[in-house]
Every structure is written in C-alpha cells, then in structure tokens.
Amino acid sequence: MDPPNFIYTTLKMIGILVVLIGVLYACLHLMKRLLHTAGSTRKADQLIRVLNVRAIGIKKQIALIEVPGAVLVIGMTGDRMQLLDKIVDVETRNQISAVRCQQPVSDKA
C-alpha cells in the first residue's frame, strides 16, 4: 500500500475550495443583479423621496421626506422613528424644493 501523497491531497483541497468560492461569488453577483433589477423603479415613478438627512448626534438623525401633498420631518434613532412635523403649506414646500435644487457654491473664485 502506498503512503498518502499529502501534496496532491492539499492541492486538490485548495482547488476545490477555489472553485466553491468562485461559484458562491457568482451566485452572489447574480442575486444582487436580479434583486436590483426587480426592486428598481424610475425616479419619475417614485412617490416617496428622501430630500435630506442630517445627523444630529450618535445614531440620531432628522430626515425630510417628500410624499404626495406634504413634506414629513422624521426623527430617527437607533431603535425608532417618529414623525416630528408635517409640512403641508405649499409655499413652505416650494421653499424646501428651491433650497434642495440649488447647486452648492464653491469657495474658489
């Protein structure tokens, strides 16, 4: 009986491991592509838009979210979300949209 060839066994094991990792990576890439395609919508079709999110502390944020007919001010922490205010005034909503659409001004002259 021949003694086991450890070099051959090790190379075989590494080869199988490389093939297995390659197959798993291909499946992950395929799933990302399928889920992204299925979940994406055109921007014109979106009814809910996140206008701005600002961090105010560790795990604490305030978000402006536009829904048809209103802009919602949402407070978010690590474990909950709460409606802080609902802006339904058309003039105020237009001001928010105008500020959001402005391009940032560069400090360079």
The CA-based angle 62-66-69, given to 5 degrees, is 135
Average per-residue pLDDT for the chain: 83
Query: Same structural domain for residues 87 and 51?
Result: yes
Query: Same structural domain for residues 57 and 94?
Result: yes
Burial, 66: exposed, middle or buried (Cβ in 10 Å; 0-12, 13-18, 19+)? buried
Query: Same structural domain for residues 35 and 12?
Result: yes
DSSP bridge pairs for 64: 52, 73
Query: Same structural domain for residues 22 and 47?
Result: no
Query: Same structural domain for residues 50 and 94?
Result: yes
pLDDT in tens, 31-43: 988 887 765 555 5
User: According to the per-residue pLDDT averaged within each range, which of 2-6, 7-11, 35-39 is highest?
Assistant: 7-11
Query: Same structural domain for residues 91 and 49?
Result: yes
Q: Where in the sequence is the domain holding 16, given as residue range(s)?
A: 1-40
Say how many domains are in the chain: 2
Query: Same structural domain for residues 86 and 55?
Result: yes
Query: Same structural domain for residues 92 and 72?
Result: yes
Q: Does residue 91 form part of some domain?
A: yes
Judged against a pLDDT cut of 50, whether residue 105 lies above it is answered with no
**Rounded Cα gap, residues 9 and 94, in angstroms:** 70
**Rounded Cα gap, residues 22 and 24, in angstroms:** 5
Query: Same structural domain for residues 35 and 68?
Result: no
Q: Give Cα separations from 18 to 5, 14, 15, 51, 57 (angstroms).
A: 20, 6, 5, 44, 44
pLDDT at 104 (0 to 100): 53
Q: Does residue 106 form part of some domain?
A: no
Q: Does residue 54 form part of some domain?
A: yes
At 19, list the tokens.
């093939």
Query: Same structural domain for residues 8 and 58?
Result: no
Query: What does pTM read for this prediction?
Result: 0.51
